[in-house]
Each structure stands twice: as C-alpha cells, then as structure tokens.
Amino acid sequence: MADEIAVVGGVDTHTDFHQAAVIDSIGRHLATEAFPTTPDGYRRLLYWLRSHGDLMAVGVEGTGAYGAELARHLRAERITVVDVDRPDRRARRANGKSDPVDAYAAATAVLSGRAGGTPKTRDGVVEAIRSLRVVRRSAVKSRTQTINQIRTLIVTAPSEVREKLRGLPTGELIHTLARSRPTGQTSDPIHTVRVALRRLARRHEYLTEEINDANAELGPLVAQAAPELVALLGVGTETAGQLLITAGDNPERLRSEASFAHLCAAAPVPASSGRTNRHRLDRGGDRAANNALHMIALVRMRYDDRTKDYVARRTAQGMSKKDILRCLKRFIAREVYKHLTSPHITPKSLLQTA
C-alpha cells in the first residue's frame, strides 16, 4: 500500500508469553498485545506487527535467553532484529514497570538508536559448542564439590577411617573408596561414613566419565570450527570454545577488534587523576571471555620467550603485574579476533566431512 506507515516493534520476553508493542516512525504508541511462546505464537506475533504498517525492525529483550527462538524466527522471515538491553533503573523509576511499558521501551530504544546491537544467530556450530560446554562446566563444578566433600568427611571421620585414607593422592583415593565394600549397621558412624565416602567416590567417577565424554566431543568440534584459533600459542579447547561462544556464530556483528576487546573486558579504561596518567583493568564485559584471555596470557608468560621478554621489559619500566596482564590481554584479544572472524564450519558441513 502506498500510504502504509513505517513502524517499529518491541518485545518484552518471558517464559510462557512475549509482550509485543508497536510504534510509528515518530514514536507514537500504536498497540500492544501478548503472544504465547510457541511456533504459532511467533507467527501470529509477526503477522500482528506487520498488520500495523511497514515493519522496519523489531527490538527484542533477552535474545540470548527467553527471546532466542523468537529472534531466530524473525531472522528466518528476513526481519531486522535488534538486541535490546532492559531499561536502566532511572528510566524505570520515571516510567514505571510493566510488560507493555517494557515492550514500548524496547521499540523506542530501536527507533532512537539507543539500541543497535546485532544478536547472536545461535544456529551454527558455535551454538553446539555452547550446549556441550554447559554440561561440561556443571560437571566440573560438581566434581570439585564432590572431592571437597570427600576430604571434609575424611577430616571429621573416626581415626580408623581417617588414618587409612590420609595422604592418598586424589586418583588413588577415589579408586580405593569406590571399590570399598563397607559392612555394618547404619547406626554405626564408622560404617555410615564409609558408605557416604563410597557413594561420593562413585559420583566422582561418574562425573569424570561425563567430563571425558564432553572433552571427546568438544575437542574435534572446536578444532574444526576454528583450527587457526586452536593453533595459537596458549589456546586450548576450553579457552577457544569460550572465545567462540563470546563472538557467536556471526562474529561479523562485532564492528572491529576494539569492540571485541571491549566485549571481553580487555579494553583499557582511563584511570587518570591530577598528575597520574594511567589505565586500569576493565571490570565489565563478558567475564568468562576475560578469564579465557587471562589463562592464555598466563600460559604465554610461562612458556613463550617473546612474552617473557615483554614482561621483563615492562617490569623494568616500573609497570605492575596487573598492568602488564592488561596489556597482554589486549594484544591477545587483537590476535584472537583475526581468527574468530574467519568463516565457521556449519553442522551440515561437519557431517559431510566426517
């Protein structure tokens, strides 16, 4: 239609329903409505938005959580999707808090240009890596808790139990406890602590097996997704996997290596005052990605001669270890970005090359 107006959509996402709102090109509120989080609900939401005019873009809150599938659906329909942060506290104090208010705020953020982030596509090999790393990370955390519980129980156990287990290395300790056959009454503390230790040891073995399975799946997947990244000094499967997840399946959404460094909290932050002229570590950004850069830097500080020379030179200039690490992480972020922006192998091509 020749007289069709331009409109912008906004969506406040939730578990069971999404609240959608639509505004025109000068910011006037046109309508708001809720839709279920089902395939049919997504189709109805898009049809409803388009019914108000020429849809320019849709701002979606939580494209990495509740709004992930909606964002995928909209992109499949060739709709421009903008990742919108939740309104800040000042705006909420001024405008109040409700689902329609948040949906209108998302649309307004897109129209004003305040929101302009491109969401991750979450439809390629990196999403597969992310899913596997969720399982591995939780298994590692649970295994650490388990061995800590075992050692705590040993410390408080009766001496005839404690003395046999004290000083054993972790591997031998787990093997010994998992294959023990405690006998006795459950009312006997000695018998009960032996039963508890045996069960914890078997849990430790199960979690170790789960971690090994995840490693066997993640290793080839990460290596095929970004072989040049894994080949970098100090970059392993874990750190490469995290950096891939941070960049997403569409790393071209990052405007430059500087934006990637900022995303990883590796960009220098001015901290000058008076006669002091310095920078400090960034406390924002993706902390998991920052930790990955930190681990790479530590490995290079220990094993890379070039990095050792750099640290020695900077130390002689009076720089602290924190400042040296900040500089190293910024350099590593620049180096990593070049390899993250190379095309990723899709799951379909992985199957073809298998």
The strands making up 54-61's β-sheet, listed across from edge to edge, are 29-36, 17-24, 6-13, 54-61, 81-84
Domain edges within the chain = 6-112, 125-225, 228-348
Confidence of residue 155 (pLDDT cuts 50, 70, 90): very high
Whether 328 shows a pLDDT value over 60: the answer reads yes
Instruction: Say how many CA atoms lie within 13 Å of 33 toward its Cβ.
Output: 15
In the CATH hierarchy, which fold is given to the domain comprising 6-112? Nucleotidyltransferase; domain 5 (3.30.420)
Q: Which residues pair with 301 in a beta bridge?
A: none
Mean pLDDT (the chain) is 90
Q: How far apart are CA 239 and CA 288, in angstroms?
A: 9
**Helix-then-strand count for the chain, H and E:** 15, 7
Q: How far apart are CA 103 and CA 35, in angstroms?
A: 12
Whether 176 shows a pLDDT value over 90: the answer reads yes
- Residue from 54, 47, 48, 41 nearest 13 by CA: 41
Confidence of residue 346 (pLDDT cuts 50, 70, 90): very low
CB-CB contact of 269 with 279 (8 Å): yes
Confidence of residue 96 (pLDDT cuts 50, 70, 90): low
- Residue from 186, 184, 194, 205 nearest 153 by CA: 194
Predicted local distance difference test score (pLDDT) of residue 352: 42
Q: Please name the residues in contact with 196: beta carbons below 8 A apart, sequence gap of 6 or more.
A: 153
Q: Dump strand ranges (E) for the chain.
A: 6-13, 17-24, 29-36, 54-61, 81-84, 269-270, 279-280
3-state helix, strand, coil in the chain (%, to 5): 60, 10, 30
What's the pLDDT tens digit per position in 193-252? 999 999 999 999 999 999 999 999 999 999 989 999 999 999 999 999 999 999 999 988
What is the pTM (predicted TM-score) of this model? 0.82
- Measured between alpha carbons, how far is residue 143 from residues 29, 135, 192, 228, 238 in Å? 52, 12, 21, 31, 17
Confidence of residue 95 (pLDDT cuts 50, 70, 90): low
Predicted local distance difference test score (pLDDT) of residue 272: 73
